[in-house]
A and B are shown apart, each in its own frame.
Chain A
Amino acid sequence: MIIQTIVFYVLAVMTVGSGLAVISSRNPVHSVLFLILAFFNSAGLFVLMDAEFVAMILVIVYVGAVAVLFLFVVMMLDVDFAKLRAGFIQYLPIGAVVGAILLAELILVFASGSIDISKPAKMAMPMPDPAQVQNTEALGNILYTNYAYLFQIAGLVLLVAMIGAIVLTHRARVGVKRQRIADQVARRPKDAVRLTDVKPGEGASWKSD
């Protein structure tokens, strides 16, 4: 048990520390890398809670895909560091107010007692014995039976967002040569090759026929 406690504090401190480093790093690429470190440590925290499925999904989706694309974009951005830092003081009050509101709300929610961590029996579903059911199975059972419609709707929302992003950024450029595999496959020798007797002094031309 003591090992778990030590590991928890190490992971928690690392998470919070890298979270702070995300906003305090001067180099945006370093910020993203610290963000990735924060994701990793939170995945570790999930593992400590025996939620190994959520931990793996966090690593696969956030670290393996989202953060890669994030890093991809940040690396290519031409960021003016001096300008960014100049704005920091200006936006600090707004950020502090938003942060304070969120913190106050969290404190209110937890203090009101509507979330009682010590009593899982309050949940909508009767809890199966954790030793019998893996959390992957338990999650799947709840998600695809009790909340199937909500799950589908969430999928649709994401689909709409994806199509929206494509529509907004897609532009059909004219004058670009593209490889059309179907055209290449459909091409036959008789369309492309012709045998001709070239008479002296006349030359050959495809369009003469």
Chain B
Amino acid sequence: MAETGVWHDYLLPLLLTIGYVLAIAVPMMLAVGALSYVERKVWAAMQLRRGPNVVGPFGVLQFLADGLKMVLKETIIPAGANRALFIMAPIITFSLGLVGWAVIPFDKHLVLADLNVGILYLFAISSLGVYGIIIAGWASNSKYAFLGSLRSAAQMVSYEVSIGFVIVTVLLCVGSLNLNDIVEAQKGLWFFIPLFPMFVIYFISALAETNRTPFDLPEAEGELVAGYQVEYSGISWGLFMLGEYANIILLSGLCTILFLGGWLPPFRVEPFTYVPGVVWFLLKTAVVIFAFTWTRATLPRYRYDQLMRLGWKVFLPASLAWLVLTAAALHLFGWLPEKVAGG
């Protein structure tokens, strides 16, 4: 006979959930800090510089120093700004970077919320990211910030379309919207091999979704000063940065799940299967994040018309064509996932 009562029915699950959330969010924040350090080191190595090397051994504590600086600096709210929205914008960006992790499976069934529509949830979260930027741009009451946010809105809506088609293509091969099922379906072959063009399109669209070089037009410090961030200072600016990095890690994790087999080991033989799935997942995610860093150190910024051309005239038709091709191949060769074929 199970215990009943308010404690057992409501409070305990609530406390457990809060515990799980903290167990994901706190390492995430540390990862964001570490990423900001690693990224600067990687750029430095690629540009033959030394990067941060003063605070702590090899400069590893640089992110703590940066964080402290951001917290201690004064947050200035411009006189003409819309106060409530101005403060809300970085909070939205930051929290959207975190809530996506609720459905990411780190290992088999090691997930906070095993949603049936997990992939749609992630897609929804990533499509909401534009609000932080567009609200920031408008609430700042500044031309540069507004121009940056308008560019960003157009950019993110455009590239979301191709990400949507990429996700649909993967779903066709899986037959489920559950992230666990998506990883399980790659037991035989990771999807980046049969769906290689979609993998490339996803990666480039993810760069555009996170406003990273070569698609960092919303910031474009050369022409828009810093775009939507121009009026932000102190911790409100810091939240934008943290949110951006959290989003990069999130989309890299999604890339791992969609194309690189999530927690699955690369070869299903002895020495590889000893390593726990979490390690494989984190390693693969780290590789994708490194690619993000690599592109930022290598590529110059796109021009706005080139960005739109790439999104609408190249990626949209290409992903649509590959989607039709995939569907046709699955149907003709009878490769449709069993669950769908049966129903």
Contact = CB atoms under 8 A, between A and B. Distances in A.
A136 B117 contact: yes
A53 B121 CA distance: 9
Interface string A57-94: 10110011100110110011000000000000000000
Contact of A64 (B117, B124, B138, B146): B124
Interface in B53-72: none
A6 B130 CA distance: 31
A91 B116 CA distance: 46
B233 interface: no
B127 interface: yes
B150 interface: yes
The A contact surface, by secondary structure, is: helix
B223 to A, nearest CB: 18
Contact of A59 (B128, B130, B134): B128
A146 interface: no
Nearest to A71: B134
Nearest to B313: A181
A57 B120 CA distance: 8
A191 to B, nearest CB: 23
Interface SS majority for chain B? helix
Interface in B110-161: 115-117, 120-121, 123-124, 127-128, 130-131, 134-135, 138, 146, 150, 153-154, 156-157, 160
Contacts of A29: 138
A141 interface: yes
A137 B177 CA distance: 10
Contact of A72 (B128, B134, B343): B134
A179 B305 CA distance: 9
A65 B156 CA distance: 9
B160 A65 contact: yes
A56 interface: yes
B4 interface: no
B43 to A, nearest CB: 30
Nearest to A55: B117
A65 B124 contact: no
Contacts of B116: 52-53, 134, 136
A56 B120 contact: yes
> Could you say which of B124, B146, B177 has the most chain A C-beta atoms within 10 Å of its C-beta?
B124
Interface residues of A, number: 25
Contact residues on B (Cβ < 8 Å of other chain), bracket:
20 to 34
A64 B159 CA distance: 12
A60 B150 contact: no
Contact of B121 (A56, A75, A134): A56
A29 B85 CA distance: 11
B342 to A, nearest CB: 11
A36 to B, nearest CB: 8
Contact of B157 (A57, A59, A65, A141): A65
Contacts of A52: 115-117
B115 A72 contact: no
A141 B124 CA distance: 23
A72 B124 contact: no
Nearest to A134: B116
Contacts of A56: 117, 120-121, 123-124
A3 interface: yes
Contact of B120 (A60, A68, A71): A60
A52 B138 CA distance: 32
A37 B161 CA distance: 23
Given A56-B120, A59-B128, A179 B160 contact: no
B117 A53 contact: yes
Interface in B70-122: 85, 115-117, 120-121
Contacts of A72: 134, 150, 153-154
Interface in A32-62: 33, 36, 52-53, 56-57, 59-60
A71 B229 CA distance: 19
B267 interface: no
Contacts of B150: 72, 75-76
A-B pairs, 8 with minimum CB distance: A64-B127, A56-B120, A59-B124, A60-B124, A52-B117, A56-B117, A134-B116, A72-B153
Interface of A: 3, 29, 33, 36, 52-53, 56-57, 59-60, 63-65, 68-69, 71-72, 75-76, 134, 136-137, 141, 179, 181
Given A53-B116, A59-B127, 6 more contacts: A60-B120, A60-B127, A64-B124, A65-B160, A68-B130, A69-B157
24 contacts: A33-B135, A36-B131, A52-B115, A53-B116, A53-B120, A56-B117, A56-B120, A56-B123, A59-B124, A59-B128, A60-B120, A60-B123, A60-B124, A68-B130, A68-B131, A68-B153, A71-B134, A71-B153, A72-B154, A75-B138, A75-B150, A134-B116, A136-B116, A141-B343
